[in-house]
Amino acid sequence: MQWLESLNLYLIVKTLHVIALVCWMAMLFYLPRLFVYHAQNAHKKEFVEVVKIQEMRLYKYIGLPAIVGTLLTGIAMIALNPSWLKVADSGLWLHIKIVFILILVAYHLACGYFIKTLGNESCTKSHKFFRVFNEIPTLLLIIIVFLAIYKPL
């Protein structure tokens, strides 16, 4: 049990944060691709029924635990390092990162909205819209990871 004593709480939380983030991003990368297939094949009822199930399960069983885990471990890391919130001590990087995380959370919620509207056939968005929509989490991830690693500001 000596190895257990040597573990650093911050590193444990950070590890869990990275794992949760990877799961969350996997969902955010794949779900809009399902929206593309859904919108593109709306006339194929049997296909759409299968995609609806995939969309809901991905969002509910992968996305929900992953977003909760990511946000809770992120908050825990800040609680373990409260000086990060002081601009004088660590700069603006964390504040800017939080803004982009909030945009990512809004994107996640928008995915939930699209599941609902695609599911009840009231969505007016085309497969081309969802192809562009699918690129948003990639751009946000690049910005968030850059801020977390380089802490440039």
Residue pLDDT, tens place only, 112-123: 999 999 999 999
Distance CA 8, CA 14 (A): 10
Answer yes or no: is pLDDT of 18 > 90.
yes
pLDDT tens, 67-94?
999 999 999 999 999 999 898 888 899 9
pLDDT band at 59 (very low <50, low <70, confident <90, very high): very high
Total residue length of the chain: 153
Contact 22, 62 (CB under 8 A): no
pLDDT (0 to 100) of residue 125: 97
With pLDDT > 70 as the criterion, what percentage of the chain qualifies?
96
- Give the distance, in angstroms, between the CA of residue 126 and the centroid of all CA atoms in the same chain: 23
Answer yes or no: is pLDDT of 150 > 80.
yes
Among 53, 32, 51, which Cα is nearest to 128's?
32
